[in-house]
Amino acid sequence: MEMVGGEEDRRLEETELRLGLPGGRASEGETAVAVIKCGGKRGFSETVDLMLNLSTKETLMDLNDKVKRNLAKENDDPVKPPAKALVVGWPPVRSFRKNILAVQKSDVKESEMMSGGAAFVKVSMDGAPYLRKVDLKIYKGYQELSNALGNMFSSFTVGMIDFMNVCKLMDLLNGSDYVPTYEDKDGDWMLVGDVPWEMFVESCKRLRIMRGKEAIGLAPRAMEKCKNRS
């Protein structure tokens, strides 16, 4: 995994990814930028998230120029601009206010879901160039969801991935296999599969299929699950 540039280095964790558009320039393409989780137990958890920078060419160029000047480097490789994504502490809105708005938003969503409407949530997968949306209400359970996700992202992965086979994942956790996670109403990132399906549908705000390496923090619970099963 390549690093972007000196300035980016310090701000971004190693979890930063770069993807090349088919036929794009060598070191170019969309940038997925991971967000550093700020230390501290409380406060709004700046969740690790991926958003793809599909900024217009002009903005890209400007930011490129700016970053180039900043680094004062003569470099043929165009430097990655800061993605138009979540940057820690930006925009500078007090976390208290951010939290209130987040709760209000999820309340609205909750009432929409309660009213029997669809429960569309975004699904991102580490390494994929774009996100998908699924309506959780059309699935009857975790296995169905897992199959659907596997189908959806099969073009980006080598072979089918069985998201629910957590034990198999544990064996290959340092490899390239994936762990399904979701963000709940409180803004916390959880491992998929712990709670009953209905509770999951109600509390899930978005899904992220995390690469094995990053799921280490969530893996211990998966370990226990494996132990309990076997």
Establish if 64 lies at the interface with other proteins (CB under 8 A). no
State which of positions 159-178 bind other proteins (CB under 8 A): none
| Window of 64-72, 115-123, 140-148, 217-225 that interacts with other proteins by CB under 8 A | 64-72
Establish if 73 lies at the interface with other proteins (CB under 8 A). no
Q: How many residues bind other proteins (CB under 8 A)?
A: 41
Establish if 62 lies at the interface with other proteins (CB under 8 A). yes
Establish if 122 lies at the interface with other proteins (CB under 8 A). no
Measured distance CA(191)–CA(42) in Å, rounded = 20
Q: Are 31 and 79 in contact (CB under 8 A)?
A: no
154-157 own/partner pairs: CB under 8 Å, 24+ apart: 156/125, 156/127, 156/128, 156/129
User: Is the Cβ of residue 70 or residue 154 nearer to other proteins in the bound state?
Assistant: 70
State which of positions 123-142 bind other proteins (CB under 8 A): none
Copy the structure tokens of residue 8: 């980016």
User: Is the Cβ of residue 74 or residue 198 nearer to other proteins in the bound state?
Assistant: 74
Beta bridge partners of 124: 208
Q: Are 208 and 190 in contact (CB under 8 A)?
A: no
Establish if 92 lies at the interface with other proteins (CB under 8 A). yes
Scored b (16 or more CB within 10 A) or e, 9-27 reads eeebeebbbbeeeeeeeee
Establish if 97 lies at the interface with other proteins (CB under 8 A). yes
Minimum Å gap between C-beta 97 and other proteins is 7
User: How many Cα atoms sit within 13 Å of 152 on the Cβ side?
Assistant: 19
Which of 21, 54, 93, 138 is the binder for other proteins (CB under 8 A)?
Answer: 93
The set of residues, in sequence order, having a beta carbon less than 8 Å from that of 43 and lying 6+ positions away, is 95
Minimum Å gap between C-beta 59 and other proteins is 7
Binding region for other proteins (CB under 8 A): 7, 10-11, 38-44, 46, 51, 58-59, 62-63, 66, 69-72, 82, 84, 86-98, 100-101, 104-105, 108
